[in-house]
Amino acid sequence: MPVNPRLKEPLTDQLFAGVLLLETEEECYQFFEDVCTIGELKAMAQRLEVARMLKHGRTYDDIVARTGASTATISRVKRCLYYGADGYKTILARLDGEEIK
């Protein structure tokens, strides 16, 4: 899938190039703690867990109970999971050790 042209710019390229240079989980914690607020980081982690649970067929009620995510957040993640740029699919497949289709 092509990159969204509204996102593609030199500063974003630099950010992603920097992220790709991180080598350990500890380095990721250090970088993201500096770049994001705790709330932003927790929101991203929550969305990834929502996507994982949706992929595995969990219900909205299960997801709300497990993650505390709002139904609006779950719905947005679901739209991205099925109609987005396939970022969630790529990460979830790699986390699950699956081959990406």
Concatenated DSSP letters of 38-100: HHHHHHHHHHHHHHHHHHTT--HHHHHHHH---HHHHHHHHHHHHHS-SHHHHHHHHHTTPPP
Model confidence, pTM: 0.90
User: 95 and 73, same structural domain?
Assistant: yes
pLDDT tens digits along 4-18: 889 899 999 999 999
Does some domain include residue 54?
Answer: yes
Domain, as residue range, for 87: 39-101
Tell me the percentage of the chain whose pLDDT exceeds 70: 97
User: 45 and 26, same structural domain?
Assistant: no
Number of domains in the chain: 2
Query: Tokens standing for 37?
Result: 């607020």
Could you tell me how far CA 93 lies from the centroid of its own chain? 12
User: 18 and 59, same structural domain?
Assistant: no
User: 55 and 21, same structural domain?
Assistant: no
